Amino acid sequence: MLFLVGLGLADEADITVKGLEVVKRAERVYLEAYTSILHVGKERLESFYGRPIIVADREMVESASNEILDGADKLDIAFLVVGDPFGATTHTDLVLRAQELSIPTKSIPNASILNAIGATGLQLYNFGQTVSMVFFTETWKPASFYDRIRENVSIGLHTLVLLDIKVKEQSLENMARGRKIYEPPRYMTVAQCAQQMLEIEEEKKESVYSEDSLAIGCARVGADDQRFACGTLKELCDVDLGPPLHSLVLLGKRAHELERDYIKSFAMDQKTFEQSWEKYHRRS
């Protein structure tokens, strides 16, 4: 059987008991290493699990999945995923490939950013569509996220923005020349996300959000050193929340007073927070 095992968000100890049992008896153990990262290295996982781990990069998962699935009709294979197994569509695709080969599959769920974001104090019922923010380039500034945020804003819901990570990426030149040379890892920060959001608003000029819109910058959610900073998008353009991974939540107008009472402790500036709340979130 192919087991997809969720690892949770922070370190080696976040795996569930059921997931750990699968890992300990599996013939091979793969770690998906490009849609997200833990805050500890492969060596810490191997020490805790007592098993060697094969790192599965994007190329292996998307182009060489047969290597992962080899023998899974007769043996147990564990595929480890940071967060929850189905937090990325790539893993759904892997299950479908296994099913085409008549390989049984089972998933072991765990915490993901989609539910752990409740640590901000915002109510999960008040979230709309989750969107992703990629690194802009001089010639490529995709803005599909803007339309999804507009839809959330129109019904007053919060928007969780997941930030880009670049792991084992090739430059265009190296890719064109077929050279297996990879760029250093890059992880988008809350400040970069806020800057790009305002850049797109400046281009669109549709007032979906503004410099004064309240948002929460989140860093290392689920870890012992998780951090939150609540401020306007303009304020968040200059925030430093430390190492990755980061995410951002744009507050919706339906925010409840209980949510306000909780998130104000994260406010970068209490006066600005109160002013923005009164302007955008006070209920009539």
Dmax over CA atoms of the chain, in Å, equals: 63
Q: Is 96 annotated as a binding residue?
A: no
Q: Is 87 annotated as a binding residue?
A: yes
Q: Is 9 annotated as a binding residue?
A: yes
Backbone angles phi, psi at 151, to 5 degrees: -65, -40
Q: Is 248 annotated as a binding residue?
A: no
Task: Tell me the one-letter amino acid at 221.
Answer: V
Q: Is 73 annotated as a binding residue?
A: no
Q: Which residues are annotated as a binding site?
A: 9, 84, 87, 112-113, 163, 221, 246
Q: Which residues are annotated as a binding site for S-adenosyl-L-methionine?
A: 9, 84, 87, 112-113, 163, 221, 246
